Structure 1
Amino acid sequence: MTTSLSTKQRVQSIDILRGVIMLIMAIDHTREYFHIGAINSDPTNLANTTPLLFFTRWITHFCAPTFVFLSGLSAYLAGTRRTKKELSGFLIKRGLWLIFVELAIVTLALTLNPLYNAFALQVIWAIGVSMVILGLLIWLPLPVIGAIGLIIIVGHDWLNTVKLAPNSTEDVLMKIFFTARGTVFFLDKTHIVFALYAVIPWTGMMLLGYAFGSLYQAKYKPVNRKVLLIYASALLFLVFFGLRLVNAYGDPAPWSAQKNGIFNLMSFLNVSKYPPSLLYSSLTLSVALLVLALTEKSAGKLANFFKVFGSVPFFYYVLHFYLIRLLTMVVFFLQGFKTSQIATPNNPFLFTPPGFGFSIGWVYIIWLAIILSLYYPCRWFSNYKKTHKQWWLSYL
């Protein structure tokens, strides 16, 4: 069996990077629920955004692809402690569990609607389905898995040009698996599904992460791994910059000259997340690889702070959503809203009526309070996982 760093200890650069993105991610989720008017506005729409609002949203673009990529990398490391058959079974079961979590647990946190009139297919859904697919593919040679991931990342933008009959079976499947960008599907008159994460493009990132996991075999010296990660990071950034500069293939939303320099930069960086375009993937994964390369030997209080969150990402992810929504209920009544305003017509998210929320400055204050309040629960659970070996801990 291949030897890896994970057989001896956790790879701290992975935990640091994952911790950083988990905390950044909470900025956007806090903004979505606490920034006044957020439910009906797009902070990346250059026609009516501000630089602060734009970059508050844009910085969180790095979270989902890094999280998915690291899930693939972690799957490879988990495989060093299991046979192929054991790893395949584990990934398939954990993937199905994550799909259930998205539909039953995360959806409830998002909507606070116990009747489940709306389901949201987001990053946990994408990771769950991608894990099932990876669990089926791990029997292939590692270079083939990596090549499939690259082909998906590079080639799926072409599917945006494919036109199918609206609402046909083919059209629905194409959107769910390849092209969804906030697509709404009606299950019946009172139940809807928000398909935000088209599965297969994210699967490509997970497969690529799985292939990169091989760099953490014992045969790679840390200095050699660092060099390879930096070269890969530079290559991905050059792909992003070169294609973006000429508005060539790789993103359905070309950049254009704006009213001033900062808005020109915003337009250039405003790559498409839904579904994740080649340029979006190249830019975000470039930064992820660079951070992995530079933090492998990081130490100190700040690194340890990030590692706490990065070592229990699932626990933190679910907990932070429920804390955010608990706070929205408290603020709802403190701002003087009535129980008759809990539900808003044509809005599946309860406790978010028109006029609810604060300025962007208060959003940052609330975000800091949320992540700091979760530090000790996450540290406790991180220590619990290190000192206990129950089978169910591998699913959390």
Structure 2
Amino acid sequence: MVAQIKNLINSVKDYIANTDKLLWLLTLSATVYSFILIYSLQRATDSNYLQSQIIAVGIGILGAIIFSVIDYINLLKYWYIWAIVGILLAVSVFLFGITVTGTDDTAWIRLPGGMTFQPSELMKICFIITFSKHLAYTVENGLIKNIKGVLLLFIHAMIPIVIIHFQGDDGSALIFLMMFAIMAFTAGVQLRYFAIALGAVIICIPFIWRFVMNDEHRNRILALFDLDGNALTDYGWQQYQGKVSIASGGIFGSGIGKGTRVQNNIVPEQQNDFIFTVAGEELGFVGCIVLILILILLMVKIIVIAIKSKDIAGRCICYGLFGMLTTQTIINLGMVLGFLPVVGITLPFFSQGGTSAMSMFFGVGLVQSVYLHNKMEIDDKLSGKYKLLLKNEFFD
């Protein structure tokens, strides 16, 4: 028994020594920051948001550790299992999906105990794995500059995008689209294909506006340009109140637990998409800068791991999480500050939402797997060279 405990302790020490500690530190820093914000804002409601968030983060950390110790090559080897899981997650919404308060789409499933679960968040992890495998195959077989190869990549990406669109969750569909674009670009898909796609989108804007978007979508966009202020009482109300809350915080904010606007729950969904307004009011400009800086450092760290990856598959996994983290951050802050329409995108690691938190941690686990197993391979090679050097020194 004692020997088993010692082995476990040694395994934990080895894990901590070999994983990217800065990536863990930044991830956990964002999480603790979010706990502080959620603890403060939940005084405005009867819900215990912090408790459910802690449980979700606990599951996310456990999943991240499991993902990180499994060689990502083995994860990609069984890509078809992840594809099946992604399809099952997508189909489950059409069978059991519900619409939760504050949303207009059927993208959630109610779990026992009253908790809800958003399958599209975990579909992002499945997509990162399957699309990384597809990109690696395309590059390794010299098809990345072939129009047929690029078209197959596009079809792969459109499967989850179309499914999620029909669920009514166009915000998540947009994230998948941006993840596809970033992963494909960094894998070597030529710019001309992106130019063609962009041209096609521009040409189709009138069709999209008329037949794809509903009145809700159009009004949210028009609210950004409503100079008369009529939208402030309707589709622009949430953004207007959010900006007032951020401005009211000044340089250092009113202090955690002291924001009157947070207390009165003036900004709708301040625990989810608009949690940045809580940081703005109670921690001020300094708190907002710290929040943004943590996210930027996370993005940079992921890029560094991607650059150092020994193969295209590892780089694709890293850029998949980078795309997920970056686009969600930009879109969330853009809509909170009134530069982009409200599309229901959470702020990574900060917004209250169990499925979102878990998926981000699972993504970090994938990146840690790339870092850990690349490092182990390099260490093995160095160890081999050292042993060869000793052999030459003493026996030659």
Which TM-score applies when normalising by structure 1? 0.33
Under a length normalisation based on structure 2, what TM-score does the superposition of the two structures give?
0.33
Larger radius of gyration: 2
Richer in helix (by share): 2
